Structure 1
């Protein structure tokens, strides 16, 4: 038995075959009808649509045969895909390449074989439409041409199947994008309108109060306006980051990061909240730490996690940003002594299809987008955001990042 040589472009051919995502798919009537027609036109009891991967021939459709696949080294079709035209073996017992082939000497006792290659528009031969008989026979020019025409129709059917799959995927992506757009505008309509209305109202009240000899309430109003402006700005930043992330406009740009310096920057941004609520903020294990990742994304993650921890921690409580190292990674956690998250709400925080906004211990407002951004940004850096929480005891959000020493060569 002679095993068919490997095609010169085998890696490209296999890649083309896999791109159609057809291997191990279910039987489909449209393929079965073409296979049956091949048997009728060529007068054979067996006909197959055979696809050749790196180790086997697999049958998308079959007539007169029980097996769904056979080893590649036994496949007549592995020889047929080396040809541009129909490959014919009129009597396998008299052909040195196949006389001792188990498919000839035992079931299904192949004697006659004719296979027309299934050729893609790029010239890759994925397999064959073949007809088989258990007795020797000749194959006339009319049958040869008919089989070749049918093989072209099979290939068109495979390509049409791929187009339909891509359209279905595109449709799902468009639906998701449309849902994201609707959610984006919903947030703009509801979450932005309210704080701006508050700011406008308090501004008018402050203006009126300044004309009065009693100015005792003016400071409180000014502080409320300031806080409202800060929360609105954070909302706008989260909306912008989320929209850019959803549209793919935020690219992953990894580099070596001085984590201690980055953490100090974030600490400065939340210092006002720390002071106002008299919360103790500690940072442990960050001295001299270098990690590998996208600095912009990591900055956003730390800012959102620390802000949330402070938001849900009662005055006098504590928040800890802690880093522990393994041989290859830094384990980063943000823990608080806050109110905790009820079990029923815990998983919803990281559901990409929804966001949950909960007021903080001092009535702080939010959109729920912050944690969605954290999840997406952590995943883009190769990690996974985890949550552990107990109601009344606090919460811990954690993720891993590669250490800089493991990736220095990749950015050198």
Structure 2
């Protein structure tokens, strides 16, 4: 098998090699990835019936052996490396006797200065972009050969080595991305907190002055001026609520402080916060006790958003009824079930409403479109998910699962 590698420059190849972080050589041998590489090197030696096999990574000036069979993995200069002379050919190289090959007969690995290699075979480790990182190499201190089937097996093992190296690369890139995401979320929460603080002051003043003017007897009841004042107060109230929800959304992916949390105690705290709204709606709540692993503040925010939605989107012809329960679904996973008897959400809209700032056109009730999005992010930050379904008899059922991320 031959792969075109000549079109890629050495500079491009070294940049790719840097992404794979393989130039650390022996010092970078950590984790199960290198155990897998050791096993593949062992298999390569057995398949080719030779005592020695190595995985060589070729840097700008060195050869690093990151796995070896029959010898101790080491580092040598690129100038002394046998594989460095042929790894960019793009195909498997087989030399029955290195003393008879002009490319290798003077090499210190052949002459006895470093080793006494006679039989040599290598196949390149090539990325999807066409960059050769190094080789899978087998050799013996006696002349020899391998069959076409053994050569093909060597190429298959080289492809499996690249699969492992690519998996290691993607895992490291994902880890870096997650770290950057966490940092970004922390900065977002910090920014949202500052903005919220800066906006809350003026809004509080606006509402305060509007209420003072509403109490002014000089402004007649039912007058245009009084109506304008009522609109100012209502608008300021809605903006305050939106700022609070934006802040909760920004903080929903922040650092978790996971601990055992009582569901019943959290619901009681939420009831205290929404006591006036619950009383005005004539709502009835039923909760089953359960203790689950979660961040107490975020669980409170999730339940408060769900209960507020149940009150806001209640059915016009029946009093709101809410049932809250939970159960352990696995050793490291538990699910909270929130059932209401409100107007519900159509199946085709249930996934869409989990996105931020999405409000249904058919819904005339005021809202920010952040409540369910915040709940979804809270569940995801705990390694879980949010699902919506229809309550038996009408209404909305929300399943919030908390997973191993807790």
Alignment TM class, shorter chain as reference: 0.5 to 0.7
Measure the CA separation in 2 of the matches of 1:270 and 1:400: 24
Measure the CA separation in 1 of the matches of 2:7 and 2:35: 23
Q: How far did residue 293 of structure 1 move?
A: 1.4
Measure the CA separation in 2 of the matches of 1:163 and 1:232: 46
Do residues 282 (structure 1) and 243 (structure 2) align?
Answer: no
Question: Over residues 130-182 of structure 1, what are the superposed CA-to-partner deviations in whole Å (9 max), with x where a residue is unaligned?
Answer: 7753522324334859xx9xx9x836xx9xx999998999899989999xx99
The match for 1:137 is 98
Measure the CA separation in 1 of the matches of 2:243 and 2:133: 53
Residue pairs, 1:82-101, within 5 angstroms: none
Query: Retained in 2: the 8 A contact 1:281–1:318?
Result: yes
Question: Over residues 189-248 of structure 1, what are the superposed CA-to-partner deviations in whole Å (9 max), with x where a residue is unaligned?
Answer: 9xx99xx99x959965972773447436899988876665554333222222333445xx
Query: Retained in 2: the 8 A contact 1:337–1:394?
Result: yes
Do residues 253 (structure 1) and 254 (structure 2) align?
Answer: no
Measure the CA separation in 1 of the matches of 2:258 and 2:182: 28
Q: How far did residue 349 of structure 1 move?
A: 1.6
Q: Assess, with a 3 A threshold, how the Cα gap between structure 1 residues 265 and 244 changes in structure 2: closer, same or farther.
A: closer
**RMSD (Å) for aligned C-alpha atoms:** 5.8
SS at match of 1:398: strand
What are the ranges of 5 or more consecutive residues in structure 2 without an aligned counterpart? 11-32, 74-82, 115-123, 125-131, 135-161
Measure the CA separation in 1 of the matches of 2:365 and 2:398: 22
The match for 2:358 is 356
The match for 1:318 is 320
Residue pairs, 1:54-73, within 5 angstroms: 54-55=35-36, 71-73=40-42
Tell which deviates more after alignment, 212-221 or 368-377.
212-221
Query: Retained in 1: the 8 A contact 2:210–2:233?
Result: no
Do residues 269 (structure 1) and 273 (structure 2) align?
Answer: yes
The match for 1:6 is none
Question: Over residues 305-330 of structure 1, what are the superposed CA-to-partner deviations in whole Å (9 max), with x where a residue is unaligned?
Answer: 11111111135421313214357665
Measure the CA separation in 2 of the matches of 1:168 and 1:102: 35
SS at match of 1:291: strand
The match for 2:48 is 103
Measure the CA separation in 1 of the matches of 2:294 and 2:348: 33
Residue pairs, 1:1-400, within 5 angstroms: 29=5, 54-55=35-36, 71-76=40-45, 102-104=47-49, 117-118=56-57, 125=66, 129=83, 132-133=93-94, 135-138=96-99, 139-142=104-107, 154=133, 207=213, 210-212=216-218, 214-215=220-221, 228-245=235-252, 250-276=254-280, 278-286=281-289, 289-315=290-316, 316-326=318-328, 331-351=335-355, 354-358=356-360, 363-366=365-368, 368-389=369-390, 393-400=394-401
SS at match of 1:29: coil
Q: How far did residue 381 of structure 1 move?
A: 2.5
Measure the CA separation in 2 of the matches of 1:169 and 1:123: 25
Measure the CA separation in 2 of the matches of 1:308 and 1:122: 63
Query: Retained in 1: the 8 A contact 2:298–2:378?
Result: yes
Q: How far did residue 372 of structure 1 move?
A: 1.8
Question: Over residues 360-388 of structure 1, what are the superposed CA-to-partner deviations in whole Å (9 max), with x where a residue is unaligned?
Answer: 9884332x222222112112223321101
Measure the CA separation in 2 of the matches of 1:381 and 1:167: 21
SS at match of 2:385: coil
TM-score by length of 2: 0.53
Query: Retained in 1: the 8 A contact 2:219–2:226?
Result: no
The match for 2:141 is none
What are the ranges of 5 or more consecutive residues in structure 1 without an aligned counterpart? 1-26, 35-51, 59-70, 77-100, 105-109
Q: Assess, with a 3 A threshold, how the Cα gap between structure 1 residues 164 and 253 changes in structure 2: closer, same or farther.
A: closer
TM-score by length of 1: 0.52
